Amino acid sequence: MSTRTAGLVAALTITTSVIAACGAAPTTAGGGSGSGDSKAASATSAQDFGGMDKLVEAAKKEGRLNTIALPPDWANYGEVIKAFEAKYGIKITNDNPDGSSQDEINAVKTLKGQDRAPDVLDLGSAFALSGAQEGLFAPYKVQSWDKIPDGQKDASGAWYYDYGGYISIGCDAKRVKTCPQTFADLLKPEYKGMVALNGDPTKAGAAFAGVYAASLASQGSFDDIQPGIDFFKKLKENGNFNPVEATPATVEKGETPITLDWDYLQASYAKEFASKGVDWKIAIPSDGQYANFYAQAINKWAPHPAAARLWQEFLYSAEGQNLWLKGYARPVLLPSMQEDGSADAAMVDQLPKVEGTPSFPTPDQVNKAKEVLASGWGAAVSG
């Protein structure tokens, strides 16, 4: 009997110490950048370092930057990373390139206090809002802060929109006789089994946006996503819905000849596949225009706080913004850069054309739409 008790006690002791080890954050700040650490971690602008030069110096001393969930073929992030590394001699470790916003938030929480925690985040706007409410971000205002329009940034600097785009209809002109231009077109019988989203809208942001756009095209509104779900139900019933999740690979292979996705992703597919004989055409549907931005934020417990802040300064400089533009994304400073002439005009001309100015749903509207979608989507397309 006594041996059994001893075994149990031993097991419990180990168990609890494992739990304790998981839960407690080491008290020493990671990063090994020495005395400047606490100052950098609380800096809310370049002035707090004593100017840009001092910020660059502090960041170079740290020498590393951890990013997360930045796919190289997404909004030209591959080149952005290379340009930053070359310019400042700071080595970037990009974890989990195809990760989601939730993965990023999870990493912030679970890697707190560790050297490999992400320094900076590129989040879906709803995750930026909820993360800021939870106090996960370090407020920081980049030098071009005043040029970011109000309503596209958190007043305290916890997050700010970085780049965005429109939901667009991509189409393989070699396989599809007439490319659809509007959501109404997608219901035509000639597109049987062709119309794909870029994922499950209860999971993938761009697919969610696709359903929202479909709602706007079918007498829905920001308050009412149901017509969008009904649209896809109709699409499913008449056999046009293609359940394959669109990726560059499925586009190239012709598995998803018609794809709803962000215009900047589709535009880069078009460029990439031109050499492989795929004629990828992009249209922003006039009946359902939906635009959205992603948001930048700094991890409050960033192991490389100065490098994290320098990364933001780089992204919001004309150089960083033009690199996104080169990836066909619409950077948040584009309007002001077109005014002062710092936007790359050739790149602006390459963007898919849009009429009118975009409007955005409020966070409350988005959250409500998500709940409606989560409960209704499965039933609409299953079978």
Q: For the purposes of burial, counting CB atoms within 10 Å of the CB of 314, is it exposed (0-12), middle (13-18) or buried (19 or more)?
A: buried
Q: Residues 316-355: x/- map of binding to another protein (CB under 8 A)?
A: ----------------------------------------
Told to check if 4 binds another protein by CB under 8 A, we report yes
Residues 130-169 that bind another protein (CB under 8 A): 130
Told to check if 245 binds another protein by CB under 8 A, we report yes
Size of the site for another protein (CB under 8 A): 49
Q: Is 150 helix (H, G, I), strand (E, B) or coil?
A: coil
Told to check if 378 binds another protein by CB under 8 A, we report yes
Q: Give the nearest distance from C-beta 258 to another protein in angstroms.
A: 12
Stretch binding another protein (CB under 8 A), from 43-51, 242-250, 263-271, 324-332: 242-250
Residue located via tokens 């490319």: 179
What are the Cα distances from residue 285, in Å, to 182, 210, 290, 294, 306? Answer: 4, 11, 9, 21, 42
- Contacts of 78 by beta carbon, 8 Å cutoff, 6+ apart: 72
Told to check if 220 binds another protein by CB under 8 A, we report no
Interface residue with another protein among 14, 24, 25, 274 (CB under 8 A) is: 14
What are the Cα distances from residue 325, in Å, to 72, 88, 206, 312? Answer: 14, 21, 19, 16
Sequence letter at residue 257: P
Task: Tell me how far apart the alpha carbons of residues 152 and 332 are, in angstroms, rounded to a whole number.
Answer: 8
Residues 246-275 that bind another protein (CB under 8 A): 253-255
Q: Please spell the DSSP secondary structure of 50-64, one letter per residue.
A: TSHHHHHHHHHHH-E
Residue 163: which H helix or E strand, with range? strand 160-172
Q: Residues 176-215: x/- map of binding to another protein (CB under 8 A)?
A: -----------------x-----xxxxxxx--x-------
Told to check if 173 binds another protein by CB under 8 A, we report no
Query: Which residues sit at the interface with another protein, rule CB under 8 A?
Result: 3-4, 7, 10-12, 14-15, 18-19, 99-103, 106, 124, 126-127, 130, 193, 199-205, 208, 239, 242-245, 253-255, 367, 370, 373-379, 381-383
